[in-house]
Amino acid sequence: MSENTVTNWFGDLAATPAVLVEAKSTADIVRILKDPGTYPSPVRAFGSNHSTAPCSAADGGTMIRMKGMNRILNITEDSVTAEAGAILYDVAHALKDKGLQFYVNTEIGNLTMGSACCAGTKDSSMPGEFGQVSSYCTGIKMVLPSGELLEATEAKNPDLLQAVRCSYGTFGIVTEVTFRIRKIQPMEVFHETYTVSDFMERLPELWSRGYALMYYMFLFDELVTIEFRKYNPKAKGKPNTHVWPIRNNLWSVIGPRTCYHTERDIGDKTIRYKIIDAFGGYWRWNLEHIIQSKNTTATDQIIRYPDVSDDSRYTFSLWAFPEETYAKVLPQYTKWVKNYYKTKGYRTNILHVGYRIAKDQNSVLSYSYDGNVMTIDPVSTANPGWKEFLIDYNQWCSGQGGVPLPNQTFGFTYEQGKKALGDRLAAMAAKRREFDPGNRLLNPFFRQFFGEPAKSPAPRAAKA
């Protein structure tokens, strides 16, 4: 690989920019954007690079590493302001030290605050709240492609902020963000397992309980284990500090590492997946019997992954479906995924997960813009056949009325995105052109996503 090769965290997507540079200040970014001769287009900023799609790739262009801008600038009782390269885990724990927390404590703690404010995330919505991190962003400062500075706030220009929250760095490069926060509240967690059919039949009852719902799906056993969470202000005593580290270690280390080595070392598919399904039973037992408490801290859900991935790495994808159709969609998907293994010989080697996310119009491209959604998220160590599976999975999910998440749904097409997002995608494409008419920040991935024509080749020099 070239010394300028940059891979995503999982390691399955690579980009080779002509220039790889680290920003340590807003002035650095202004200088880069104003000098296309030294820093060619497209220009893309990146942080921990956990996306499963090539959002930050800039082959032949310029990639700006943002981790040098990682200061926490201000904390008040109801807000935190940080530079774009600070990571969620560090900011969350600085808040915890002051008895404060984020509204959405999403799993991937390596998420940079710049990405958190202008890219999609997923987390099951707490009762009466949103499930997307960016929905609680109240202010953004960025450098426009021209080198000018722009500030958008919820108070002064809410419509602009609504667009910026899903701009994925195509309007400008984010330098500073402010998020709404709250005082820490005790949080209850427990797990229950259902068959797929029982889960679907009891959905209205489960929704009415008033808990956030995240769920682990063991589809070859047709079982679903639900993680129930809600705040519990009546909890007494000190919070339980053990359950989330156990859950996080099982999810981010033991689970994927076990499945990776089983995939690598067991050649016989029948034996291999019997072992993996048996491990799923162990996983369920731990969730049901150990990961339960009336008093935990939401911050402790956040996982700080190693900066460089190892044999416990995993990858995933996501499509969201209207919750009113989910009782039909999930059983059909269960049959589809089993038949896929039977006919094409491929299945994911970890499990599937899913989230219930509340209706949320705080960003133009929100995947729950039209109402509450529930997701189907296959998880894998990228065993052979994974990328091919995702193309077929995308087609199936699109056919069922699903909505993709651009930075976490690999391989979906412009047509599938347009079908799911409709006029909102066209509106965002038009808004992007207002801020970047010269396409300084537009890489091939977002060129396709927004339906822009392919970049014309550079004109050849005339012959003498």
Going from the C-alpha of 172 to that of each of 133, 350, 448, the distances in angstroms are 19, 37, 18
Q: What is the CATH number of the domain that holds 88?
A: 3.30.465.10
Here the tokens at position 295 are: 């008093």
User: How much is the pLDDT for 460?
Assistant: 37
Positions in the chain whose pLDDT score sits under 70: 1-2, 455-464
Q: Residues 192, 178: one domain?
A: no
Q: Residues 154, 86: one domain?
A: yes
User: How much is the pLDDT for 457?
Assistant: 41
Cα–Cα distance measured from residue 225 to residue 460, given in angstroms and rounded to the nearest whole number:
60
Q: Residues 85, 119: one domain?
A: yes
Query: Among 161, 183, 205, which residue terminates a domain?
Result: 183
Secondary structure (DSSP) of 168-205: TTSS-EEEEEEEEEEE--EEEEEEEEEEHHHHHHTHHH
User: How much is the pLDDT for 4?
Assistant: 86
| Beta strand spans in 196-336 (E) | 212-218, 223-231, 293-297, 315-316, 319-322
User: How much is the pLDDT for 289?
Assistant: 97
Cα–Cα distance measured from residue 179 to residue 263, given in angstroms and rounded to the nearest whole number:
41
Inside any domain, residue 2 = no
Query: Among 183, 204, 223, which residue terminates a domain?
Result: 183
Cα–Cα distance measured from residue 299 to residue 301, given in angstroms and rounded to the nearest whole number:
5
Inside any domain, residue 406 = yes
pTM for the full predicted model: 0.95
Q: Residues 156, 116: one domain?
A: yes
Inside any domain, residue 333 = yes
User: How much is the pLDDT for 454?
Assistant: 79
Which residue range(s) make up the domain with 91?
Answer: 72-183
Cα–Cα distance measured from residue 264 to residue 247, given in angstroms and rounded to the nearest whole number:
24
Inside any domain, residue 246 = yes
Q: Residues 297, 150: one domain?
A: no
Q: Residues 285, 265: one domain?
A: yes
Q: Residues 236, 343: one domain?
A: yes
Q: What is the CATH number of the domain that holds 267?
A: 3.40.462.10
Number of domains in the chain: 2
Inside any domain, residue 459 = no
Inside any domain, residue 41 = no
Q: By the 8 A CB rule, do 252 and 305 touch?
A: yes
User: How much is the pLDDT for 215?
Assistant: 98
Inside any domain, residue 128 = yes
Nearest to 49 by CA among 307, 292, 256: 307
Q: Residues 283, 155: one domain?
A: no
Q: Residues 145, 82: one domain?
A: yes
Secondary structure (DSSP) of 88-116: HHHHHHHHHTTTEEES---SBTT-BHHHH
- According to DSSP, residue 298 is labeled G
Cα–Cα distance measured from residue 378 to residue 397, given in angstroms and rounded to the nearest whole number:
12
Query: Among 133, 148, 183, which residue terminates a domain?
Result: 183
Q: Residues 171, 192: one domain?
A: no
Q: Cis ω on the peptide bond leading into residue 127 (within 30° of 0)?
A: no
Cα dihedral 409, 391, 46, 250 sign: positive
Inside any domain, residue 19 = no
Q: Residues 109, 196: one domain?
A: no
Q: Residues 299, 332: one domain?
A: yes
